[in-house]
Amino acid sequence: ENTHNRAGGRIYPFDQLETVFSFARERELRLHLDGARLINASVQTAISLERYGALADSVTFCFSKGLGAPIGSVLISDRETIDRAFKWRKRLGGGMRQVGILAAACLYALDNNVQRIVEDHEKAAKLGEIVESSSILRLRFPVETNIVIFEVVDESRDIEELRAAFEREGVLLLAFGGRFMRMVTHLDITSDDIERVEKIFEEVLDA
Protein backbone atom coordinates (compact mmCIF):
# COMPACT_ATOMS: atom_id res chain seq x y z
CA GLU A 1 0.00 0.00 0.00
CA ASN A 2 1.53 3.29 -1.08
CA THR A 3 0.98 5.72 0.51
CA HIS A 4 0.31 3.72 3.68
CA ASN A 5 -2.87 4.69 5.48
CA ARG A 6 -2.20 3.33 8.96
CA ALA A 7 1.35 4.63 8.84
CA GLY A 8 -0.03 8.15 8.53
CA GLY A 9 0.16 8.53 4.76
CA ARG A 10 3.86 7.75 4.69
CA ILE A 11 5.54 6.92 1.41
CA TYR A 12 6.90 3.41 0.96
CA PRO A 13 10.61 3.89 0.16
CA PHE A 14 11.23 3.18 -3.52
CA ASP A 15 14.36 1.13 -2.90
CA GLN A 16 12.40 -1.13 -0.55
CA LEU A 17 9.72 -1.58 -3.19
CA GLU A 18 12.43 -2.61 -5.63
CA THR A 19 13.68 -5.18 -3.11
CA VAL A 20 10.19 -6.60 -2.60
CA PHE A 21 9.63 -6.76 -6.36
CA SER A 22 12.93 -8.59 -6.90
CA PHE A 23 12.07 -11.02 -4.08
CA ALA A 24 8.72 -11.78 -5.73
CA ARG A 25 10.22 -12.16 -9.19
CA GLU A 26 12.89 -14.59 -8.02
CA ARG A 27 10.17 -16.80 -6.51
CA GLU A 28 7.71 -16.40 -9.40
CA LEU A 29 5.22 -14.62 -7.15
CA ARG A 30 2.82 -11.99 -8.42
CA LEU A 31 2.88 -8.63 -6.68
CA HIS A 32 -0.06 -6.21 -6.32
CA LEU A 33 0.35 -2.55 -5.39
CA ASP A 34 -2.56 -0.89 -3.61
CA GLY A 35 -1.98 2.55 -5.05
CA ALA A 36 -5.20 4.27 -3.98
CA ARG A 37 -3.09 7.28 -2.96
CA LEU A 38 -0.16 6.56 -5.27
CA ILE A 39 -0.50 10.00 -6.85
CA ASN A 40 0.42 11.50 -3.46
CA ALA A 41 3.60 9.43 -3.33
CA SER A 42 4.47 10.30 -6.93
CA VAL A 43 3.96 14.04 -6.51
CA GLN A 44 5.87 14.17 -3.23
CA THR A 45 8.87 12.13 -4.44
CA ALA A 46 8.86 13.20 -8.11
CA ILE A 47 9.02 9.49 -8.98
CA SER A 48 6.73 8.86 -11.95
CA LEU A 49 3.67 6.65 -11.78
CA GLU A 50 5.22 4.61 -14.57
CA ARG A 51 8.26 3.77 -12.41
CA TYR A 52 6.07 2.81 -9.50
CA GLY A 53 3.80 0.74 -11.72
CA ALA A 54 6.73 -1.15 -13.20
CA LEU A 55 7.36 -2.69 -9.77
CA ALA A 56 4.11 -4.65 -9.64
CA ASP A 57 2.06 -7.05 -11.72
CA SER A 58 -1.10 -5.10 -10.95
CA VAL A 59 -1.86 -1.67 -9.54
CA THR A 60 -5.04 -0.02 -8.28
CA PHE A 61 -5.41 3.73 -8.54
CA CYS A 62 -8.13 5.93 -7.03
CA PHE A 63 -9.57 9.11 -8.55
CA SER A 64 -11.82 9.96 -5.61
CA LYS A 65 -9.19 10.68 -2.96
CA GLY A 66 -6.54 13.33 -3.55
CA LEU A 67 -7.61 13.92 -7.15
CA GLY A 68 -11.10 14.91 -6.02
CA ALA A 69 -13.33 13.04 -8.47
CA PRO A 70 -16.72 12.03 -7.01
CA ILE A 71 -16.11 8.34 -7.69
CA GLY A 72 -13.75 6.07 -9.55
CA SER A 73 -10.88 3.63 -9.32
CA VAL A 74 -8.99 1.67 -11.94
CA LEU A 75 -7.12 -1.62 -12.01
CA ILE A 76 -4.05 -1.74 -14.23
CA SER A 77 -2.48 -5.04 -15.25
CA ASP A 78 -1.96 -7.44 -18.14
CA ARG A 79 -4.87 -8.42 -20.40
CA GLU A 80 -5.44 -11.83 -18.81
CA THR A 81 -5.69 -10.34 -15.32
CA ILE A 82 -8.04 -7.58 -16.48
CA ASP A 83 -10.31 -10.11 -18.23
CA ARG A 84 -10.52 -12.13 -15.00
CA ALA A 85 -11.18 -8.96 -13.02
CA PHE A 86 -14.07 -8.02 -15.31
CA LYS A 87 -15.68 -11.40 -14.73
CA TRP A 88 -15.30 -11.25 -10.95
CA ARG A 89 -16.55 -7.68 -10.84
CA LYS A 90 -19.74 -8.76 -12.60
CA ARG A 91 -20.14 -11.83 -10.36
CA LEU A 92 -19.82 -9.66 -7.25
CA GLY A 93 -22.31 -7.08 -8.50
CA GLY A 94 -19.80 -4.39 -9.39
CA GLY A 95 -21.00 -3.64 -12.92
CA MET A 96 -22.25 -0.14 -13.73
CA ARG A 97 -24.00 1.44 -16.72
CA GLN A 98 -23.97 4.96 -18.17
CA VAL A 99 -20.73 5.87 -16.41
CA GLY A 100 -19.50 8.33 -19.03
CA ILE A 101 -20.18 11.35 -16.78
CA LEU A 102 -18.14 9.71 -14.02
CA ALA A 103 -15.29 8.93 -16.42
CA ALA A 104 -15.35 12.58 -17.51
CA ALA A 105 -14.85 13.66 -13.90
CA CYS A 106 -11.86 11.30 -13.60
CA LEU A 107 -10.32 12.72 -16.79
CA TYR A 108 -10.83 16.25 -15.49
CA ALA A 109 -9.10 15.28 -12.24
CA LEU A 110 -6.11 13.90 -14.14
CA ASP A 111 -5.86 17.02 -16.27
CA ASN A 112 -6.29 19.57 -13.49
CA ASN A 113 -5.77 18.18 -9.99
CA VAL A 114 -2.45 16.35 -9.97
CA GLN A 115 0.15 19.01 -9.13
CA ARG A 116 -2.18 20.80 -6.73
CA ILE A 117 -1.88 17.78 -4.40
CA VAL A 118 1.25 19.53 -3.09
CA GLU A 119 -1.15 21.97 -1.42
CA ASP A 120 -2.80 19.10 0.48
CA HIS A 121 0.59 18.00 1.76
CA GLU A 122 1.44 21.53 2.89
CA LYS A 123 -1.85 21.85 4.75
CA ALA A 124 -1.38 18.46 6.40
CA ALA A 125 2.09 19.56 7.52
CA LYS A 126 0.48 22.61 9.11
CA LEU A 127 -2.02 20.36 10.90
CA GLY A 128 0.95 18.37 12.15
CA GLU A 129 2.44 21.55 13.60
CA ILE A 130 -0.87 22.33 15.30
CA VAL A 131 -0.91 18.87 16.86
CA GLU A 132 2.68 19.17 18.06
CA SER A 133 1.96 22.51 19.69
CA SER A 134 -0.46 20.81 22.08
CA SER A 135 0.78 19.28 25.32
CA ILE A 136 -1.93 16.59 25.29
CA LEU A 137 -1.40 15.40 21.70
CA ARG A 138 1.49 13.65 19.98
CA LEU A 139 2.03 12.84 16.33
CA ARG A 140 2.12 9.10 15.72
CA PHE A 141 4.13 9.45 12.50
CA PRO A 142 5.94 12.25 10.67
CA VAL A 143 3.58 13.97 8.21
CA GLU A 144 4.73 13.17 4.68
CA THR A 145 1.61 13.55 2.54
CA ASN A 146 -2.04 14.30 3.34
CA ILE A 147 -2.77 12.10 6.38
CA VAL A 148 -2.19 13.11 9.98
CA ILE A 149 -2.45 10.55 12.78
CA PHE A 150 -1.99 11.64 16.35
CA GLU A 151 -2.33 10.21 19.83
CA VAL A 152 -4.21 11.76 22.73
CA VAL A 153 -1.61 11.26 25.45
CA ASP A 154 -3.68 12.79 28.24
CA GLU A 155 -5.55 9.69 29.41
CA SER A 156 -8.08 11.80 31.30
CA ARG A 157 -9.52 12.94 27.97
CA ASP A 158 -12.11 10.63 26.45
CA ILE A 159 -11.49 9.99 22.73
CA GLU A 160 -15.15 9.83 21.74
CA GLU A 161 -16.01 12.97 23.68
CA LEU A 162 -13.17 14.81 21.96
CA ARG A 163 -14.25 13.56 18.54
CA ALA A 164 -17.83 14.68 19.19
CA ALA A 165 -16.66 18.08 20.45
CA PHE A 166 -14.65 18.64 17.27
CA GLU A 167 -17.57 17.50 15.13
CA ARG A 168 -19.87 20.04 16.78
CA GLU A 169 -17.43 22.72 15.61
CA GLY A 170 -17.38 21.32 12.07
CA VAL A 171 -14.07 19.42 12.28
CA LEU A 172 -14.38 15.75 11.40
CA LEU A 173 -11.81 13.39 12.89
CA LEU A 174 -11.71 9.62 12.80
CA ALA A 175 -11.02 7.62 15.93
CA PHE A 176 -8.27 5.31 14.71
CA GLY A 177 -7.96 2.61 17.33
CA GLY A 178 -6.85 2.97 20.92
CA ARG A 179 -6.13 6.62 21.63
CA PHE A 180 -5.31 7.61 18.06
CA MET A 181 -7.19 9.96 15.76
CA ARG A 182 -6.81 10.72 12.05
CA MET A 183 -7.24 13.81 9.89
CA VAL A 184 -6.96 14.00 6.09
CA THR A 185 -6.56 17.00 3.80
CA HIS A 186 -7.99 17.19 0.28
CA LEU A 187 -8.90 19.77 -2.35
CA ASP A 188 -12.00 20.97 -0.46
CA ILE A 189 -9.86 22.03 2.52
CA THR A 190 -8.70 25.65 2.23
CA SER A 191 -5.98 27.58 4.02
CA ASP A 192 -8.73 29.43 5.90
CA ASP A 193 -10.05 26.06 7.06
CA ILE A 194 -6.64 25.19 8.50
CA GLU A 195 -6.54 28.48 10.42
CA ARG A 196 -10.03 27.77 11.73
CA VAL A 197 -8.98 24.26 12.78
CA GLU A 198 -6.08 25.74 14.75
CA LYS A 199 -8.47 27.97 16.72
CA ILE A 200 -10.94 25.12 17.27
CA PHE A 201 -8.16 22.84 18.53
CA GLU A 202 -7.19 25.47 21.09
CA GLU A 203 -10.80 25.94 22.20
CA VAL A 204 -11.71 22.26 22.42
CA LEU A 205 -8.48 21.07 24.02
CA ASP A 206 -8.51 23.86 26.58
CA ALA A 207 -12.14 23.23 27.52
pLDDT at 50: 95
Cβ contacts of residue 79 below 8 Å, gap of 6+? none
**pLDDT tops 90 at residue 126:** yes
User: What would the pLDDT profile of 57-83 be if each residue is shown by its tens digit?
Assistant: 999 999 998 899 998 899 999 999 999
Report the predicted TM-score, pTM, of the whole model to 2 decimal places: 0.92
Other CB atoms within 10 A of residue 147 CB: 25
Give the Cα separation of 205 and 125 in Å (integer).
20
